[in-house]
């Protein structure tokens, strides 16, 4: 268990003692990171499966439409789930701030798996008619509602468990889990596509990946129920209990007003992060097959190769954010989208396999700057008592408006304008918004979370930090005395 003693109300950090500093237990940290990332793995296993099966799902549930209309309807159902994500954030976020991150994350895990499993049970359109797409929509809404509390809670959980010096690296495992889940889903669909006939995939094969959600969800629930609450939240609750009159919780509107600037920064960061994310992972397989007329298997394999390359890069960028800062890494990625989106899509549009792969790799590298840096940047925007709520709402509002709609909007833009470069222009706009947002951020690398005490890896490091803080305080006092003496003279 982490070494924790409730801190006194110190006027400044120069008065901290070693017992006021959180010493993080490394074993607990690894378990916390793994359990939090597992939820993202499962969520993106579903996304990978759905994206790679978008064409088949369109045929199963919307058989009377044209091929283009089927794809748009399939992505429209995909995007519909994102409309309820902010509602899920508004429900699960305050619960996580009131009752604990661990409890809520356990509940969202099982709810997510139920929604995914149910998709595999839905009869196709030929058997139950219009009820088939309606039930598909309902299952997606259950998924969307549960995931509304997932990412904000998982990012908060990892950030509050991490040491200040390595929060970027540990946070990047959240997106490592995202990519892993997507690859597992994509690999499963790709393998099934190569082994089964088109008729078998259309008849029953597409259901198998969704059925796997049940055992995955039960395993994730077991892992999360074994976790302890984060040290930062435990300290916050102990402080609340120590007060004679606990500070009343802010209402939703009070929170949105008080932290409006932080919320806007959160929305801006999530926008560039998720437009890049969903363009590459959800839209690109269909773009390669439906727009560029590549074979389905080739398109699936190309995107999957890029995703495999992205896994170590995500951890590398996360590590670099701890060394050089969050702002330079995320800013580099945003600037890269503005400058390189068009060249990347020109390479992809060439149709040459090597050039297509090169264009996808460029987009993948740029995306990993966000996946490596954002999970540790977002929780640092908010204080402990409202961190889960604010992050869940800000993240999901942005994802709903700009992230999950990316495949649908870009598919519609390409179909309407007949301009295959529309996705590049869309990414350039997101990159520009990302640059503006990064400019407004304060650097949070290697610093305590807002409203929390410093967190270190060992007690020796805690002693060293105390010595450093006191030394800084003495130097400031010396400078103040010198300035006072100079003014008196």
Distance CA 376, CA 237 (A): 23
Q: Is residue 379 part of a domain?
A: yes
Q: Does 172 score more than 90 pLDDT?
A: yes
- Quick one: pLDDT at residue 246? 55
**Cβ atoms of 69 and 62 closer than 8 Å:** yes
Q: Which residues pair with 455 in a beta bridge?
A: 22
Residues across the chain: 489
Q: What is the pLDDT of residue 303?
A: 86
d(CA 61, CA 94): 36
Q: What is the dihedral of CA 76, 77, 80, 81, to 10 degrees?
A: -140
Q: Is residue 377 part of a domain?
A: yes
**What does the pLDDT read at residue 12?**
52
Q: Check residue 7 and give its pLDDT.
A: 40
Q: From 260, 454, 266, select the one nearest 374 (Cα to Cα).
A: 266
Phi, psi of 405 (to 5 degrees): -85, -10
Count of domains in the chain?
1
pLDDT, tens digit, 9 for 90 and up, residues 233-273: 888 777 777 665 555 577 788 888 899 999 999 999 999 99
Q: What pLDDT sits at residue 130?
A: 84
Residue 363, pLDDT > 60, answer: yes
Q: Is residue 247 part of a domain?
A: no
Confidence of residue 4 (pLDDT cuts 50, 70, 90): very low
Q: Domain for residue 477, yes or no?
A: no
pLDDT band at 13 (very low <50, low <70, confident <90, very high): low
> Which of 145, 41, 156 has its CA nearest to residue 97?
156
Q: Where residue 345 falls among pLDDT bands split at 50, 70, 90?
A: very high
Question: What local confidence, expressed as pLDDT, does residue 163 receive?
Answer: 94
Residue 182 pLDDT: 84
pLDDT higher than 60, residue 92:
yes
Say how far apart CA 481 and CA 484 lie, in whole Å: 5
pLDDT score of 6: 40
Instruction: Give the pLDDT score at 243.
Output: 61
Q: Is the pLDDT of residue 2 over 50?
A: no
Residue 468 lies in a domain: no
DSSP string spanning 104-155?
A: HHHHHHHHHHHHHHHHHH---HHHHTTHHHHHHHHHHHHHHHHHTTHHHHHH
d(CA 132, CA 129): 6
Long-range Cβ contacts of 289-297 (<8 Å, 24+ apart): 289/55, 290/55, 290/67, 290/68, 290/71, 290/411, 291/414, 291/420, 292/348, 292/349, 292/351, 292/356, 292/420, 294/351, 294/356, 296/55, 296/193, 297/190, 297/193, 297/194
Per-residue model confidence as pLDDT tens digits over 371-414: 999 999 999 999 988 999 999 999 999 988 888 778 778 888 88
Token pair 């800084």 is at which residue?
472
- Domain containing 75 — which CATH number? 1.20.1250.20
Q: What is the 3-state secondary structure (H, E, C) of 231-265?
A: HHHHHHHHHHHHCCCCCCCCCHHHHHHHCHHHHHH
Average pLDDT over residues 447-465: 87
pLDDT, tens digit, 9 for 90 and up, residues 50-67: 777 877 888 888 887 777
362, pLDDT greater than 90? yes
Report the mean per-residue pLDDT for the chain. Answer: 86
Q: Which residue has the higher pLDDT, 216 or 67?
A: 216
- Quote the CA–CA distance of 305 and 302 in Å, as a whole number: 5
Q: Which domain range does residue 194 map to?
A: 13-229+256-457
Whether the pLDDT of residue 10 is over 50: the answer is no
Is 485 part of any domain?
no
> What was the pLDDT predicted at 368?
97
Tell me the Ramachandran region of residue 425: left when phi exceeds 0, alpha when psi lies from -120 to 50, beta otherwise. Answer: alpha
Q: What is the mean pLDDT of residues 38-46?
A: 84
Residue 370, pLDDT above cutoff 80: yes
- Answer yes or no: are the C-beta atoms of 303 and 326 closer than 8 Å: no
Residue 80 corresponds to which tokens in the numbers above? 């519909």
> Shortest CA distance to 140 belongs to which of 200, 238, 74?
74
Q: Please state, for a pLDDT cut of 70, what percent of the chain lies above it.
A: 94
Quick one: pLDDT band at residue 489, thresholds 50, 70, 90? low
Answer whether residue 16 shows pLDDT above 80.
no
Q: Is residue 426 part of a domain?
A: yes
Residues 6+ apart with CB under 8 A from 478: none
Bridge partners of 23?
3, 456
308: in domain: yes
């Amino acid at each position: 268990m982490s070494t924790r003693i409730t801190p006194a109300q110190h006027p400044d950090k120069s008065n901290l003692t070693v017992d006021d500093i959180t010493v993080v237990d490394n074993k607990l940290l690894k378990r916390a990171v793994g359990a939090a990332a597992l939820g993202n793995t499962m969520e993106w296993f579903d996304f990978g499966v759905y994206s790679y099966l978008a064409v088949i799902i369109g045929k199963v549930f919307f058989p009377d439409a044209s091929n283009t209309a089927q794809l748009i309807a399939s992505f429209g159902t995909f995007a519909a789930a994102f409309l309820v994500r902010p509602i899920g954030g508004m429900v699960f976020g305050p619960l996580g701030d009131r009752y604990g991150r661990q409890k809520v994350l356990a509940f969202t895990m099982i709810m997510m798996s139920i929604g995914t499993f149910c998709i595999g049970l839905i009869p196709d359109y030929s058997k139950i008619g219009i009820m088939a797409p309606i039930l598909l929509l309902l299952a997606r809404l259950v998924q969307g509602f549960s995931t509304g509390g997932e990412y904000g809670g998982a990012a908060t959980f990892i950030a509050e468990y991490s040491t200040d010096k390595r929060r970027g690296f540990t946070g990047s495992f959240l997106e490592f889990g995202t990519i892993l889940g997507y690859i597992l889903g994509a690999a499963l669909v790709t393998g099934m596509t190569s082994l089964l006939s088109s008729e078998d995939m259309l008849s029953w094969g597409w259901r198998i990946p969704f059925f796997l959600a049940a055992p995955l969800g039960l395993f994730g629930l077991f892992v999360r129920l074994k976790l302890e609450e984060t040290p930062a939240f435990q300290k916050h609750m102990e402080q609340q209990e120590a007060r004679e009159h606990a500070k009343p919780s802010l209402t939703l509107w009070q929170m949105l007003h008080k932290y409006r600037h932080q919320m806007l920064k959160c929305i801006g960061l999530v926008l560039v992060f998720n437009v890049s994310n969903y363009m590459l992972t959800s839209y690109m397989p269909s773009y390669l097959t439906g727009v560029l007329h590549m074979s389905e298997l080739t398109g699936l394999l190309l995107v999957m190769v890029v995703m495999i390359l992205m896994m170590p890069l995500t951890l590398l960028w996360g590590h670099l954010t701890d060394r050089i800062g969050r702002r330079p890494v995320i800013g580099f990625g945003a600037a890269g989208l503005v400058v390189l989106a068009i060249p990347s899509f020109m390479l992809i549009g060439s149709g040459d396999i090597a050039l297509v792969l090169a264009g996808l790799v460029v987009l993948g590298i740029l995306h990993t700057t966000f996946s490596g840096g954002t999970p540790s940047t977002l929780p640092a925007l908010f204080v402990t008592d409202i961190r889960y709520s604010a992050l869940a709402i800000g993240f999901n509002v942005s994802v709903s408006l700009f992230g999950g709609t990316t495949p649908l909007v870009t598919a519609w833009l390409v179909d309407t304008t007949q301009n295959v470069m529309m996705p590049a222009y869309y990414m350039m706009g997101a990159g520009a918004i990302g640059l503006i947002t990064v400019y407004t951020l304060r650097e949070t690398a290697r610093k305590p979370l807002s409203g929390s005490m410093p967190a270190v890896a060992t007690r020796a490091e805690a002693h060293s930090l105390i010595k450093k803080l006191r030394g800084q305080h003495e130097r400031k006092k010396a400078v103040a005395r010198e300035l006072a003496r100079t003014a008196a003279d």
